A and B are shown apart, each in its own frame.
Chain A
Amino acid sequence: MLWAVLSIFVLAAVAPFIARVTKQATGWVLGLLPLAVFAYFAQQIGPVADGTPIRQVHAWVPSLDLTLSFYLDGLSLLFALLVTGIGTLIVVYAGGYMHGHDQYGRFFSQLLLFMGAMLGLVVADNIIAFFIFFELTSFASYLLIGFYHTDEDNRQAARKALVVTGGGGLALLAGLLLLQQVTGTMEFSEMLALGDTVRAHPYYTGIFVLVILGAFTKSAQFPFHFWLPAAMAGPTPVSAYLHSATMVKAGVFLLARLSPVLGGTDLWLYTLVSFGAFTMVLSAWLGLRYTDLKQILAYTTVMVLGLLTMLLGVGTSAAVKAAMVFILVHALYKGALFMMAGSVDHETGTRDVLELGGLRSEMPYTMAGGLLAALSMAGLPPLFGFIGKEVTYEAALGAGPIGIVVLVASVLANAALLAGALVVGIKPFFGGEGSFTRHPHEAPVSMWLGPGILATLGLAFGLVPSLVDQTILQAATGAVLQSPYEFYLALWHGINAPLIASLVTFAIGFALYVQWARVQPSGFMQALDGFFGRRPAAAFERGLFEMARLSQWTTRRVQDGTFRHYLLTVLSTFVVLVGSSLLLQTNIQWPTEVLGVRYYEAALAGIIVLAALVAVRTHERFIAILALSIGGYAIALLYLLFGAPDLAMTQFTIETLSIIILVIVLLNLPGISGQVSLASRVRDAVVATGVGAIITTIALTVLSTPLDRYVSDYLASRSYTEARGHNIVNVILVDFRALDTMGEIGVLAMAALGVYVLMRMMRQNRDTPEASIESDDKVLTEAEETA
């Protein structure tokens, strides 16, 4: 499995180069690998359906105990097959659709990256790997949605998707890490058995909220639904892929994956059912407001995501079965319909239903695929969509008290879905000639093959459900339920409650379709769209805008370009935070076990303080230097008194050299000036005093605790026996901690070279009059040397 995932990433990296060679055949060539991976996963159906999940572990970062582990149960396998299978068709389709675009190669590269990320996500076992793939899908979709990046709206759509899903991903990360804390494992496969522990844990609510945030943002549940319709700004193959098999399904996958761990509580049930049902009904009806093929399809995707969330929330065997069936149903027809919409757009130059019509004779293959898929979407027999709808109703009826809500919501949403499906599938092909300028003709084979295959499968699975029910769907349902569950799907169950619900749905749906021309522009739909469609998106953009303003404002406040204000900010923060915690948390004591003070030591301390105060007060730079060096020498004497002759010697020499260099440079600089107001001087003095007081307090607190001289004694005791040195300080410097010393002399050398370069720059930049003085100086020096 590692190779299956990795190979797609590798292909993503080299795709632009392949595209340069293969030209218009690129789609066919690049499609071979996803096809091979699909075949690999298809071979696993047998073993997985027998109830033995496959687990593969590879060491990743052994030092951090991170593994790259893969887990293939029925659920992963269902998604892996969708990702690679539909992926293959999308790549082929994109070869035709994107043909002639000047960044053909880049497109394939990003598309394959998207595919690899999604595949990795569904088969990952390690939560960290899962999270990385999860965010990688957000990232790849950001690139793809914003593929036509020259248009501002597209960039905005891409950013919207990235911020919403990426932000949700961060919440998810927090949730997963908490989950790891509770279960003690990083692997999903091991977590699955620990559901009771998690549900009983006090962190449960926190974990639930964080994980749900991740899933809801990714799967565009209300109130995060607005990014998905905007995401149709991407090229159509991307929309087809994103809606059918990848990205948005990641949220649903996450819910399904974690439902054995987090599911089964009231919190889970009511949250998922209410948000799911609301999203489902809302978006199904919002879809009817639009006339753009892709827009209608986008809203119906949100509707299906709501349906799936709701079903997973209900969580009964029948509901999970319905969810798994619907995932497959939806992937098949949604992929086909988006591709069909893309083909129509490609050939006519418009996607507006009101402008389209009468394409049945020009584009027969596209029509056949599109129509079949639309009928499946409408849920009409004998297509697979009908079975999907039936099992949904069956699940609703068996869901207990909440079932009636689920049922009513489903009927309302499915009716709108039916109308939408007929609008998308029938309007462009039948009726009078559309009002488009381009002369349409049938799309190339690469562009009708994909929708055709998917739509045919929709028919085949409807007629012969045993192709999938006993194998992959049953395995997937069993994986989510964590217990084997056997079922058979069939078109005809006799006259029962689900069938009646279906008939009601058909009635409302057909009525809506007939009246669509009037429903679509109606005031009610406009209000609905304004309130739930446009407003959240506008609010989001507004929020981003205000955030930028806020950060700009704070940046300007804190970083106003004046260095001393930066320092003031840092120091005041230090005083407030450290000072308050010191006052609140620490017992400040006067240290007891310390040396007494001798009068000459006290005098030295006094000199040091006095010298520093003089340096602060004076405006005469040479007095300041003098005060500095007096203070420095006094410190050197202190070192000498307290058993540090090495330090004393070093400090003495350094002080001397410092004076020399200060004098040389200061002679070339003007005196100290630049007054500031008394108020700001007082403010700075208060802050500086605060910092000093805090440091003294910390120091006194440290001094009142006993010193652990373990390291010092360790080094001292080995100084002679192991390093043959009597001077312990020197032994530490050149032997025990020689590596540090080496770093330090490296720093010294760098500083020296820095000074050298700065001064050299000055000499080279010097203007002519100064240069002449310099040359005079040189002459004098040389004269001295010869003398």
Chain B
Amino acid sequence: MEALLAIVSGILFACSFYLMMRRNLLRFVIGLIILGNAANLLIFTMGRLTRDHPPVIPYGAELPIEPYANPLPQALILTAIVISFGLLVFALVLVFRNYLTTNTLDADTLDAAEPDEPLDVHTETRRLPA
């Protein structure tokens, strides 16, 4: 089962990166959501799987009864799920906000952050000493 889930998360990673490389920002956001799921699934699988035995100590006992699921990845993933929700909403709102400003969702037309100057201009004016 672990091997199967390793393959599944690999496919999810591939899908998410493909989506994140698309021009439309919405598809980027969708890719981001899948990325979160893929990472969580991968961590979960890496901690090995145990069927039906949550890491809960029964009443009257001091130690959990073997076998029990690995609690550590679960703790990591639990916060990661909530955080990726925060990230999703934030990214979505950024895309939305950007759409209202530029009226486009096309990532290729958004290059205000990397204008052509100043490097190019600099070259022309820089003089090479004799």
Q: Do chains A and B touch in the complex (CB under 8 A)?
A: yes
**B87: nearest residue on chain A (CB-CB)?**
A751
Bound-complex Cα distance A716 to B85 (A): 28
Q: Which of A591, A693, A755 contacts B2 (CB 8 A)?
A: A591
- Chain A residues whose C-beta falls within 8 Å of the C-beta of B79 in the assembled complex: 733, 740-741, 744
Q: Which of A538, A612, A658, A700 contacts B6 (CB 8 A)?
A: A700
- Chain B residues whose C-beta falls within 8 Å of the C-beta of A725 in the assembled complex: 57
Could you tell me the distance in whole angstroms from the C-beta of B35 to the nearest C-beta in chain A?
11
- B107, A644: Cβ atoms under 8 Å? no
Bound-complex Cα distance A670 to B77 (A): 33
- Chain B residues whose C-beta falls within 8 Å of the C-beta of A744 in the assembled complex: 79, 82-83
**B45: nearest residue on chain A (CB-CB)?**
A699
Q: Which of A559, A561, A644, A751 contacts B69 (CB 8 A)?
A: A644
Interface band, chain A:
35 or more
Could you tell me the distance in whole angstroms from the C-beta of B109 to the nearest C-beta in chain A?
9
Q: Which of B6, B83, B123 contacts A747 (CB 8 A)?
A: B83
Asked if A488 CB lies within 8 Å of chain B CBs, one says no
Q: Which of A615, A651, A703 contacts B15 (CB 8 A)?
A: A615
- B78, A654: Cβ atoms under 8 Å? no
- B93, A759: Cβ atoms under 8 Å? yes
Bitwise interface map of A from 590 to 608 toward B, beta carbon under 8 Å scored 1, else 0: 1100111110011001001
- Chain A residues whose C-beta falls within 8 Å of the C-beta of B2 in the assembled complex: 591, 594-595, 703
Bound-complex Cα distance A749 to B56 (A): 29
Bitwise interface map of B from 1 to 20 toward A, beta carbon under 8 Å scored 1, else 0: 11111111111111111111
How many inter-chain contacts with C-beta < 8 Å in the A-B complex?
Answer: 306
- A716, B23: Cβ atoms under 8 Å? no
- B68, A716: Cβ atoms under 8 Å? yes
Could you tell me the distance in whole angstroms from the C-beta of B78 to the nearest C-beta in chain A?
6
Could you tell me the distance in whole angstroms from the C-beta of B52 to the nearest C-beta in chain A?
6
- B17, A642: Cβ atoms under 8 Å? no
Bitwise interface map of A from 656 to 667 toward B, beta carbon under 8 Å scored 1, else 0: 011001100110
Q: A561-B113, A673-B24, A700-B3 are in contact. Are A755 and B90 (CB under 8 A)?
A: yes
Bound-complex Cα distance A692 to B20 (A): 14
Q: Which of A538, A571, A609, A754 contacts B8 (CB 8 A)?
A: A609
Q: Which of B15, B48, B83, B111 contacts A688 (CB 8 A)?
A: B15
**A591: nearest residue on chain B (CB-CB)?**
B3
- Chain B residues whose C-beta falls within 8 Å of the C-beta of A609 in the assembled complex: 8, 11-12
- Chain A residues whose C-beta falls within 8 Å of the C-beta of B64 in the assembled complex: 716, 719, 728
Bound-complex Cα distance A727 to B10 (A): 31
Q: A628-B33, A674-B108, A692-B13 are in contact. Are A635 and B71 (CB under 8 A)?
A: no
- A642, B129: Cβ atoms under 8 Å? no
Bound-complex Cα distance A751 to B95 (A): 15
Asked if A163 CB lies within 8 Å of chain B CBs, one says no
- Chain A residues whose C-beta falls within 8 Å of the C-beta of B21 in the assembled complex: 564, 567-568, 571, 684, 687-688
Bound-complex Cα distance A665 to B30 (A): 13
- A612, B11: Cβ atoms under 8 Å? yes
- Chain B residues whose C-beta falls within 8 Å of the C-beta of A615 in the assembled complex: 15, 19, 30, 34
Q: Which of A549, A552, A597 contacts B4 (CB 8 A)?
A: A597
Bound-complex Cα distance A727 to B74 (A): 11
Which residues of A, 672-689, contact B by the 8 Å Cβ criterion?
672-676, 684-685, 687-689
- Chain B residues whose C-beta falls within 8 Å of the C-beta of A59 in the assembled complex: none
Bound-complex Cα distance A711 to B72 (A): 8
- B69, A643: Cβ atoms under 8 Å? yes
Asked if A696 CB lies within 8 Å of chain B CBs, one says yes
Which residues of A, 352-382, contact B by the 8 Å Cβ criterion?
none
Interface centre among B74, B99, B123 (most CB of A within 10 A): B74
- B111, A643: Cβ atoms under 8 Å? no
Bound-complex Cα distance A717 to B1 (A): 27
Q: Which of B45, B70, B100, B128 contacts A542 (CB 8 A)?
A: B128
- A571, B17: Cβ atoms under 8 Å? yes
Bound-complex Cα distance A594 to B46 (A): 11
Q: A669-B105, A761-B97 are in contact. Are A688 and B87 (CB under 8 A)?
A: no
Q: Which residues of B contact A (CB under 8 A)?
A: 1-24, 26-27, 30, 33-34, 37, 40-42, 44-59, 61-64, 68-72, 74-75, 77-79, 81-90, 92-97, 99-100, 105-108, 110-111, 113-115, 119-120, 123, 126, 128-130
9 smallest CB-CB distances across A and B, nearest first, come from: A692-B14, A696-B10, A643-B69, A561-B114, A751-B86, A561-B111, A699-B6, A674-B23, A688-B18
Q: List 21 A-B contacts (CB under 8 A).
A: A545-B128, A552-B119, A552-B123, A564-B23, A591-B3, A595-B51, A605-B4, A608-B41, A643-B51, A644-B54, A651-B81, A673-B105, A696-B7, A703-B6, A703-B45, A716-B55, A728-B71, A733-B75, A740-B79, A751-B83, A755-B93
